[in-house]
Structure 1
Amino acid sequence: MTQDLYDIRDPRFLDCVVIYAGMEEIASGCRWTEGPVWFADQDLLLFSDIPNDRIMRWVPGQGTSVFRQASNFANGHTRDRQGRLISCEHGSRRVTRTEADGSTTVLADSFGGKRLNSPNDVIVKSDGSIWFTDPTYGILSDYEGYRAEPEQAARNVFRLDSTSGALASVVDDFTQPNGLCFSPDEKRLYIAESGSSHDENVPSVIRVFDVAGDRLTGGDVFCTIDNGLPDGIRCDMNGNLWSSAEDGVHVFSPDGHCLGKIHVPQRVSNLTFGGPRRNRLFITATTSVYLLYVAATGAQRP
């Protein structure tokens, strides 16, 4: 029932959602869904089923099929400015680009002469630079990758220059950095701290940084997730931040105030906006993917 779907904390939440819209399960039968990315020009959604080592494809009116298997335990995805798929691979501990002919180009697999941990989530800035997080989830066990000892001294957030190929650490003080997204004007970068997954003393927060070219400053706590932890995050065109959580999707105003929640039947890992008008919210949640029409418009252009 739609009245059980929404938890309204602030009247502004009503400008974000279609209060009478219901949620639809569009894919199921996975083990842990992640990394949704919308391809507007092809009218399809790609998402990861990490433990099953595959990337799935969902097409409106056609349903779900396998896009790639094996996927090197791919997790997060995005598109670059040329429309190519950018992927974080746990198994190979690298970030790759899928070319138009289907071949794969390795963009980053090491830093300082040592292997990356397990790239997790990735975004592309309007200047073409690629930003990604590198926690250790893919090497903690053989469930979402291959068990290994980390070679990096920190769990970094990286910036990859698309022209020179230079890789630089822009943040190194997270326990486990996870989802990340830019504000609509790209003046702010939000990064989720998901370290409470293995250490209850780590706060379940999203931090915000000021962006100045290829550098970040600040890093204050933007908001706290009060049920579970933040994983994937996205902004809408009004600057509101949409975050995954244990009980669904939490929506925060640009000043960090919780406007409301969208309750989801399963633990949410990630989300993205899509559809012709970027007003469809695709939610990856444990074994399924859900679709919900919203009043907001996604800031990230697919």
Structure 2
Amino acid sequence: MKLTQKIFLASALSLGALIAMKINPTPVVNPRLVMLPDSTSDLFADGTVPVLVSDQFGFTEGPSPDKKGNVYFTDQNNDKIWMYGLDGKLTVWMDSSRRANGTYFDKKGNLITAAELRNEIISISPDKKITTLVKDIGGKFMNGPNDVFVTEKGDMYFSDPYFQRSFWKHRGAPGMQLDGQKVYLVRKGTSEAIPVITDMRVPNGVVGTPDGKYLYVADYGGRKTFKYTIEKDGTLSNKTQFADLGSDGMTLDNKGNVYLTGRGVTVYNKDGKRIAQIPVPTQQNVTNVCFAGKNRDILFITTPKSVFTMQMKVKGIE
């Protein structure tokens, strides 16, 4: 089958799936996004496309799976955290989420959350009790914690870019109080945020390998993604450009492939070679992605107004 035929078939299948679900079809796939037919067979079956779950949101972000495979994701504009269950149902898990953005579950089942209402990192327990983990840096408001990753041993990394928010009422005049946009380390059992990346324009997506050896961080402003070695004390070394593409949120699969977001989902193998481009049937950029489901083989994709799922052959590592 020719590449152009594959693109047409993928678009037709996506539209048919939406009609079968009795959901108004969203715009067709951006024609500039093409799958790479020589490299996708190990990731997903030929003809598989993202399927719309719902388009009722204000601005979705921060999807994370719990131990069972349910996905929790944020709708920052409406100040909510939603859950997409194993049964395929959507429910509001938390109202008044402190304008939650990026999230990550720790080993105890707490949802570690970048909360932008007052520029904090918080922990939300399974019974929805909120504990503030990091409230400021040296007495100054953080820019706006955006994405967060927790290692197996309990250390935490988070990005702190500056995006002015209309709901900020506590900061006074607009602008950063800190001297830059950085990535921070918070060691297990502490509340001190230690800067470990200070040379990015606008750091955003953060994710690490399950063996605790490497951290991937996207420079959203610099339009590049970098790979770092995680040292025993949590500091970073051996900065290496991984992809000539920035990202909002990102994730990894069990083959070591890295999933970057923007115009669709772009997949790179562990060596930094682009191996797949997943078009998403919306005119909006993809904001984040994770693996969901009982077997962690469902790719869960967030965009500002909509969320999608896609059946995969690989599995996620969260």
TM-score after normalising by structure 1: 0.88
Which of these two proteins has the greater Rg computed from alpha carbons? 2
1:51 aligned counterpart, secondary structure: helix
User: Per-residue deviation at 1:66?
Assistant: 1.8
Alpha carbons 1:26, 1:63 under 8 Å: kept: no
| Residue-by-residue CA offset, 1:137-186 (whole Å, 9 max, x unaligned) | 2xx1306x557321111111111112233321111111111011112432
- Rounded Cα–Cα distance in structure 2 between residues aligned with 1:276 and 1:65: 18
Query: For each residue in 1:81-110, what CA deviation from the matched residue of structure 2 results, as whole angstroms up to 9, or x when unmatched?
Result: 111111101111001011243211100011
Greater strand fraction, Structure 1 or Structure 2: 1
The gaps in structure 2 that reach 5 residues or longer are 1-7, 12-28
**Match among 173, 188, 198 for residue 214 of structure 2:** 188
- Equivalent residue for 2:230? 211
Count, aligned residues: 285
Quote the Cα distance in structure 1 between the aligned partners of 2:308 and 2:258. 19
Match of 1:164 in 2: 190
Aligned to 2:258: 241
Q: Identify the residue that residue 18 of structure 2 maps to in structure 1.
A: none
Matches within 5 A, 1:274-289: 274-289=292-307
User: Which residue matches 1:133?
Assistant: 159
Q: Which residue of 1 aligns with 2:205?
A: 179
AA aligned to 1:257 is K
The match for 2:84 is: 58
CA distance in 1, matches of 2:35, 2:52: 22
Deviation at 1:60, TM superposition (A): 3.8
Q: Does 1:142 align with 2:166?
A: yes
What's the CA shift for 1:3?
Answer: 3.0
1:3 match: secondary structure = helix
Structure 2: distance between partners of 1:124 and 1:63? 27
Is it true that 1:15 corresponds to 2:42 in the alignment? Answer: yes
Aligned AA (1:253): N
> Are 1:261 and 2:277 matched, yes or no?
yes
- Structure 1, 52-61 or 87-96: larger mean CA deviation: 52-61
| CA RMSD in angstroms, aligned pairs only | 1.9
| 8 Å CA contact 1:179, 1:191 repeated in 2 | yes
User: Given residue 299 of structure 1, which amino acid in structure 2 is its aligned partner?
Assistant: I
Structure 1 counterpart of 2:62? 35
Name the SS of the counterpart of 2:287 in structure 1. Answer: strand
* 1:25 alignment counterpart: 52
- The Cα offsets for residues 241-275 of structure 1, whole Å up to 9 and x where unpaired, read as 111112x1000011111101000023100000111
Where 2:40 maps in the other structure, the secondary structure is helix
Runs ≥4 residues deviating over 4 A: none
Residue 2 of structure 1 and its aligned partner are, at CA, apart by 5.2
| Deviation string, structure 1 residues 13-37 (Cα, Å, up to 9, x no partner) | 3211222334221122112110011
Aligned CA distance change for structure 1 residues 2 and 239 (closer, same or farther; 3 Å): farther
Q: TM-score w.r.t. structure 2 length?
A: 0.84
Structure 1 window deviating more from structure 2 (114-123 vs 54-63): it is 54-63
Q: State the Cα distance separating 1:279 from its structure 2 match.
A: 0.7
Aligned to 2:5: none
**Distance across 2 between alignment mates of 1:273 and 1:126:** 18
Say whether 1:3 aligns with 2:10. Answer: yes
